[in-house]
Amino acid sequence: MRKTEYTLLVVLFLFILVINVLIINAAYTNVFDLLKHISPPSPPLVTITNIFSVILGSLVLFTCIVIIMEKRDPGTTLAWLLILIFLPLLGFFVYLLLGRQFHKRRLTVKKQKISHYLCPFNAPADEGSLQQLAETAEAKERLIQLICNSTEYPITLNNEVTVLTDGRQIFPAIIEALQSATKYIYLETYILRNDEIGSKISQLLIDKAQKGVTVRVIFDGIGSRSLGKNYLRKMRAVGIRIEPFLPVRVPFFHNRINYRNHRKILIIDGTVSFVGGINIGDEYLGRDPNIGYWRDTHLRIAGDTIHYLQNIFIQDWFFVTKEQLPTGSPPSVTSGSQLPGNKPVQIAASGPDTHWESIMQVYYYAIATAQKSIYLTSPYFVPNESILTALKTAALSGVDIKVLLPANPDYRIVFYAAMSYLEELMEAGIEIYFYQNGFMHAKILIIDGLVSSVGSANMDRRSFSLNFEVNALIYDKEIARRLEADFINDLKFSERLTMETLTEQPLHHRVLESGARLLSPLL
């Protein structure tokens, strides 16, 4: 680094320190001004305040240096620096709660060791199967190879895939599969509730455990934080092992509030699996009067892909409990085995423990290489610059792009952040729709009527880098047509956003959108 660059860095850090000390002192001065009519502050108190201001300013400066040296995304770095400079006290504690990266690095190393220990290798996709698939999947061979290289999960050709559109289809299929279990049940979910459907699932698991079926359940420590001890006690009493993923004992003072397990996986006897976007709770059946109908999508998969979904569960289970479950041998990737179907499926898993942001890379490359159409559904839409650029570039090249978002969001700040991106997308020719018939929670991407992604990952920064996620990629025109039919039907219950609607928004909405966008790297 040249001398001038060192000088600029020193000036920047001194500026941050001075600004923080001035802001902190100004805050205390205002407090003293309010209190002096009652009791003037003593000189020792003023001295202590000045010392505290310098100490806190120094801590904030050190934190800024740490953030810069972590080499994060520039937008994320800038957002944290702005918060720390102008809200030093609040920003410092928020950073301690949500922003620290060293815990992510320790978690990454720990979980990677577990993955290599339990599943030291995965069967590579052989050249014959890739060539056979490439002929079917036209120009998508490089996308397939990308997922192979970034997730280490090969494509499997022998699968039966059923698309389940909402809770009224998903839960009966799950219950039927649970009732058929004879060996083991592995369940992993973000939200597990002690309500009507949650109790029904619990009782089914209890009944199966009493008949000798091995039952293992992972629920997220934040997503299922309201799950009562009595619910857990009943299940554990019959031998079910049900454990939280990274439980948070004191939510506002614990860095584990990030790195949530957002995956939804169900494996039954190694023959039937489920993956998608739905959790376990009554609201997913439309029973919450404040939400109404809940629109979601899940997949029922039978075939070779189950082995890789099961490996993900086994790794997560070992991470949580240190209990090693049998992994089994990888299936053949050729088309010769006699299994239920012939759908090509590939699993993409990502999280703080993966070297690559696999799902984000899949989304980016699939969008960037689209030739005809892109249909995207996501309840939360906070794209990074790569995804944003890929969408705009694809639209400007003539690709038909439709994006479907919920009209009634459950998190307002995320909604305002999403709104801040829509005008530039529409200027590029992208059609934006808001779903009006309840809440849209499905996470779907359909490319060129050929490649489909269904899973737990939202189109946002949190799913890309902070949460543990899993998606299924299906290379099949029939499945793509089925998902497209659902998408077109959803548009009947949606309202298209127009430029007139955007420009007529009140000023305070535009201010909120701009503010939320500044914070979008942290959402």
Catalytic residue among 264, 298, 307, 402: 264
CA 342 distance to own-chain centroid: 29
**pLDDT value at 457 more than 90:** yes
- Other CB atoms within a 10 A radius of the CB of residue 135 amount to 9
Judge whether 269 counts as a catalytic residue. yes
Contact by Cβ (8 Å): 288, 167: no
Write down the pLDDT at residue 92.
63
Backbone angles phi, psi at 450, to 5 degrees: -135, -50
Query: How far, in Å, CA of 99 to CA of 97, rounded?
Result: 6
**What's the chain's average pLDDT?**
80
Write down the pLDDT at residue 117.
47
Judge whether 264 counts as a catalytic residue. yes
Q: What is the pLDDT of residues 68-110, one digit of tens each?
A: 555 556 556 666 666 666 666 666 666 655 555 545 555 555 5
Catalytic residue among 166, 443, 486, 490: 443
Question: For a pLDDT cut of 70, what percent of the chain falls above it?
Answer: 65
Name the strand (E) or helix (H) holding 151.
Answer: helix 141-151
Catalytic residue among 307, 392, 441, 476: 441
Residues 6+ away with beta carbon under 8 Å from 373: 399, 400, 401, 402, 446, 447, 448, 449
Catalytic residue among 220, 353, 448, 460: 448
**Residue matched to tokens 């439980």:** 247
Write down the pLDDT at residue 337.
47
Judge whether 400 counts as a catalytic residue. no
- According to DSSP, the residues that pair with 431 across neighbouring strands are 402
Full DSSP string of 467-521: SBEEEEEEE-HHHHHHHHHHHHHHHTTEEE--HHHHHTS-HHHHHHHHHHHHHGG
Query: How far, in Å, CA of 26 to CA of 86, rounded?
Result: 12
Question: For a pLDDT cut of 90, what percent of the chain falls above it?
Answer: 52
DSSP count for the chain of H helices, then E strands: 18, 18
Q: pTM of the predicted model, to two decimals? A: 0.79
User: Three-state SS for 466?
Assistant: coil
Which residue has better confidence, 300 or 55?
Answer: 300
Calculate mean pLDDT across residues 215-227.
94
Contact by Cβ (8 Å): 421, 381: yes
Write down the pLDDT at residue 198.
97
Which of 277, 279, 273 has its CA nearest to residue 198?
A: 279
Write down the pLDDT at residue 462.
87
**pLDDT value at 252 more than 50:** no
Which of 513, 495, 504, 353 has its CA nearest to residue 437?
A: 495
**pLDDT value at 170 more than 70:** yes
Write down the pLDDT at residue 511.
77
Write down the pLDDT at residue 326.
83
Give the confidence band of 512 by pLDDT, cuts at 50, 70, 90: confident
Judge whether 443 counts as a catalytic residue. yes
Write down the pLDDT at residue 131.
56
Say which DSSP state 410 is in: S
Query: How far, in Å, CA of 457 to CA of 46, rounded?
Result: 51
Write down the pLDDT at residue 32.
44
Q: Among 120-124, 422-426, 493-497, which stretch is predicted with the lowest mean pLDDT?
A: 120-124
- Name the CATH architecture for the domain at 358-522: 2-Layer Sandwich (3.30)
Write down the pLDDT at residue 442.
97
Which of 360, 433, 430 has its CA nearest to residue 399?
A: 430
Say which DSSP state 334 is in: S
Write down the pLDDT at residue 99.
54
Ranges 18-22, 104-108, 252-256, 323-327, most confident: 323-327
- According to DSSP, the residues that pair with 302 across neighbouring strands are 160
**pLDDT value at 463 more than 80:** yes
Catalytic residue among 73, 195, 207, 269: 269
Residues 6+ away with beta carbon under 8 Å from 35: 41
Calculate mean pLDDT across residues 160-176.
97
Contact by Cβ (8 Å): 489, 322: no
Give the confidence band of 333 by pLDDT, cuts at 50, 70, 90: very low
Buried b / exposed e across 366-400, counting CB within 10 Å, b at 16+? bbbbbeebbbbbbbbbbbbebbeebbbebbeeebe
Give the confidence band of 246 by pLDDT, cuts at 50, 70, 90: confident
Contact by Cβ (8 Å): 494, 387: no
Domain 104-121+158-341, what fold? Endonuclease; Chain A (3.30.870)
Long-range pairs for 226-234 at CB < 8 Å and ≥24 separation?
226/193, 226/194, 227/192, 227/193, 227/194, 228/194, 230/194, 231/194, 231/198, 231/199, 231/202, 234/202, 234/206
Query: How far, in Å, CA of 419 to CA of 257, rounded?
Result: 26
Which of 199, 465, 236, 181 has its CA nearest to residue 351?
A: 465
CA distances from 261 to 111, 159, 222, 245 (A): 13, 26, 9, 7
Write down the pLDDT at residue 413.
84
Same fold, 104-121+158-341 and 358-522: yes
Contact by Cβ (8 Å): 482, 163: yes
Calculate mean pLDDT across residues 155-174.
95
Query: How far, in Å, CA of 264 to CA of 190, rounded?
Result: 7
Which residue has better confidence, 499 or 116?
Answer: 499
Judge whether 71 counts as a catalytic residue. no
Write down the pLDDT at residue 176.
97
Write down the pLDDT at residue 516.
74
Calculate mean pLDDT across residues 179-190.
97
- Domain borders along the chain are 3-99, 104-121+158-341, 358-522
**pLDDT value at 403 more than 80:** yes
Name the strand (E) or helix (H) holding 440.
Answer: strand 439-440
SS3 content of the chain, % helix, strand, coil (to 5): 50, 20, 30
Q: Among 5-19, 98-112, 115-129, 500-514, which stretch is predicted with the lowest mean pLDDT?
A: 115-129
Calculate mean pLDDT across residues 231-255.
82
Write down the pLDDT at residue 43.
58
Q: Among 117-121, 150-154, 261-265, 397-401, which stretch is predicted with the lowest mean pLDDT?
A: 117-121
Judge whether 254 counts as a catalytic residue. no
